[in-house]
Amino acid sequence: MTRFAAPIAESIWDMKYRLKQADGAPLDLSVEDTWRRIARALSEQESDPGHWENKFYAALEDFQFLPAGRITAGAGTGRVVTLFNCFVMGTIPDDMGGIFDMLKEAALTMQQGGGIGYDFSTIRPRGADVKGVAADASGPLSFMDVWDAMCRTIMSAGSRRGAMMATMRCDHPDIEDFITAKSDPARLRMFNMSVLVTDAFMEAVKADGPWELQFDGKVYHTVQARDLWNRIMQSTYDYAEPGVIFIDRINAMNNLAYCETIAATNPCGEQPLPPYGACLLGSINLARLVSAPFEDAAEIDEGALDELVTTAVRMMDNVVDASRFPLEQQAQEAQAKRRIGLGVTGLADALLMVGLRYGSEEAARQTSRWLHRIARAAYLASVDLAREKGAFPLFDAEKYLESGALQNMDEDVREAVRTHGVRNALLTSIAPTGTISLYAGNVSSGIEPVFAYSYTRKVLQKDGSRTEEEVVDYAVQMWRDKYGDRDLPSHFVDAQTLAPSDHVRMQAAAQKWVDSSISKTINCPEDIDFDAFKDVYMQAWDSGCKGCTTYRPNDVTGSVLSVSETTDATPEADQGADVIYLSEPLDRPQALEGNTYKVKWPDSEHAIYITINDIVLNGTRRPFEVFINSKNMEHFAWTVALTRMISAVFRRGGDVSFVVEELKAVFDPRGGAWMQGKYVPSILAAIGGVIERHLISIDFIEGEGLGLKSDPEAERVAVGDRPKGPACPSCGQYDLRMVEGCMTCMNCGHSKCN
């Protein structure tokens, strides 16, 4: 009997979390081996590791507690990776040397797999004087372009690209350029972007008052606050960015307001962090804790919930000591405060099981009760750890208890903290769980509603044939198993049918008991009126949320994974999702046809030779592998790495033309070169150009674009159908959806965020 509730869950485990040797041979022979590996690694911090290994294993068993992807993939592997998902980097100095020191730190952090956040408000605005060099400043947006290029060149540990968050204060003189930066689809694609909105600004918006844009005490412009707010709203209405972070509220509600100031968040916004702050993440799977689902007596076993939370807090506290850190400053910050971010997933499924409609007043009240119970259990568990192992080093009882988040907590918990201290300065956060929710059997993600109750993905087999596989929401599958073909009850709703106000209500209900923040996407219909759209953000502000992220499908953002409805308003399987996925790479034939190309980079002593071999499947010739060779030993390591990565992508099938796009977008800060009358920004871009010409020559892509010629969906778009949105950068399929502020592929599980 398999432990996996769905085939997609086993696929995600095999691709993302299963420990394998360098040649792909599995070391985790089963998911039980994965759980045992994690439990053993985290129990090594205990005085009685044998006892705690079994307790930790029991928490992991059956996907009850889901450590974030970094922990699941990295714990117990002996690899040089961080187990922390996210970091906010050091404050960027307003000088060239300091800026590029920060760039180096960012590269080192992403190299080990960490997502990063930066506040670019500390860089002087474009056009400001630069003393001593008789020049004008280029502004923070120009340096964000440098960060973006750096991120493109770094493949994070665990086969995911680094994710970045850029924030800017609403009173920075370049804020208007920041707001509209994503209107250029080729710019800053590696960043999520959010505006730091202050209380004073929101008051000025409501009063329709003036707003000064200033830097270092100098006022550069004065605008109407409401006009600036409307520009933020228009950009996110059109391009889904920037998000909005209510930064004063975050700082006021921070348990550590007495010893830190927050100006940035991690890439998805659920972790507001100080300079060099780091946080690890994990989720309680509420869908696994409901007893008697769909019956009148259905409820979450609160005793089991308390016990699971207590064990999870201990496990996550041990991660602080077990993890490596890219930078010493990050290690010191983590040790001084011992932040953890325990959250939930499967909330929407749990609500369905107990008969509640997501977004209703009663569902919001039940959500608040569950999260109150989790917060209470988490703080008491951390108090017990403080008695056993000591409070976090910067703990100051009176100052700590005066913080906003603790003022809501039950008095007996506050008294326990006052008497014994607390091990972890912050404990709760609701993070993106797009990939781990699939791994857990396609439970609903985080506190999001169910996106689609079922959809069909097409799996490409080794012989070139395709099979169809239905992917069903966890709660819906439980209903089918219990009641067969009986119609779903009326309280079964999904993200397509909910009003934006329902989303806001659920986010606000959860926020009261989350001491960090929440990553959540508020889905808005395409035809939502602009004034109604703006009102969503005002509702989020008025109801106490710490931030707001929306997603409105349109011709720019694309329409992904549509859900049709039957006449009785019951969502049915999506018939349009054309998902292509290879469960295993294709086997290499004994002989392949190919071509070798020579690239001579100016100022380089040796040429680079690029060999591209092709395979024919179902009459279509497609790239299969790449070899990049040079006599220049300085090129050896990166050419071998590039050879392996590109070949691995080619062998997975699907639309792999994104490889060309990514390579051609890389620029070298030292400067590019003119080749055949055209400026090429880097040697990697030159390699991308060679691969592009080859793919055109074998008739795999169009000469004037990157569309896969054999893709019928691309042909429909060309004659006026809705754009599908961006392709997945991992598998190339058009099956991305916005999950908790981050695009997640429902085909392969790829996400920038976990």
Among all residues, which ones are annotated catalytic? 266, 268, 270
Cα gap 128→750, rounded to integer Å: 41
- Ramachandran bin of 91, using left for φ above 0, alpha for ψ from -120 to 50, beta for the remaining angles: beta
> For tokens 């953000």, what's the residue?
537
Q: Which two tokens stand for residue 702?
A: 């169009």
Cα gap 233→243, rounded to integer Å: 9
3-class DSSP state of 746 = coil
3-class DSSP state of 278 = strand
Cα gap 224→169, rounded to integer Å: 16
377 Cα distance to chain centroid: 27
For strand 243-246 and strand 191-197, is the pairing parallel, antiparallel, or unpaired? parallel
3-class DSSP state of 275 = coil
Cα gap 20→733, rounded to integer Å: 25
User: CB pairs under 8 A, 24+ apart, for 258-262?
Assistant: 258/396, 258/399, 258/400, 258/402, 258/403, 259/394, 259/396, 259/399, 262/88
Cα gap 525→532, rounded to integer Å: 11
Cα gap 546→246, rounded to integer Å: 5
Neighbours of 217 (CB within 10 A): 5
Are 643 and 627 a contacting pair, CB within 8 Å?
A: yes
Cα gap 121→444, rounded to integer Å: 36
The one-letter amino acid at 48: D
Alpha helices in 445-529 (DSSP H): 474-483, 500-511
Are 375 and 427 a contacting pair, CB within 8 Å?
A: yes
Cα gap 26→21, rounded to integer Å: 6
DSSP 157-206: TTTEE--EEEEEETTSTTHHHHHHGGGSTTSSTTEEEEEEE-HHHHHHHH
Q: Which two tokens stand for residue 576?
A: 């349009």
Please provide the size of the chain in residues. Answer: 754
Neighbours of 140 (CB within 10 A): 28
Neighbours of 295 (CB within 10 A): 12
User: 226 vs 170, 204, 211, 245, 534, CA distance in Å?
Assistant: 12, 7, 9, 17, 11
DSSP 222-245: EEEHHHHHHHHHHHHHHHS--EEE
The one-letter amino acid at 518: I
The DSSP letter of residue 269 is S
Q: For the chain, how long is the longest CA-to-CA vector?
A: 77
96 Cα distance to chain centroid: 30
Phi and psi at 523, nearest 5°, equal: -75, 130
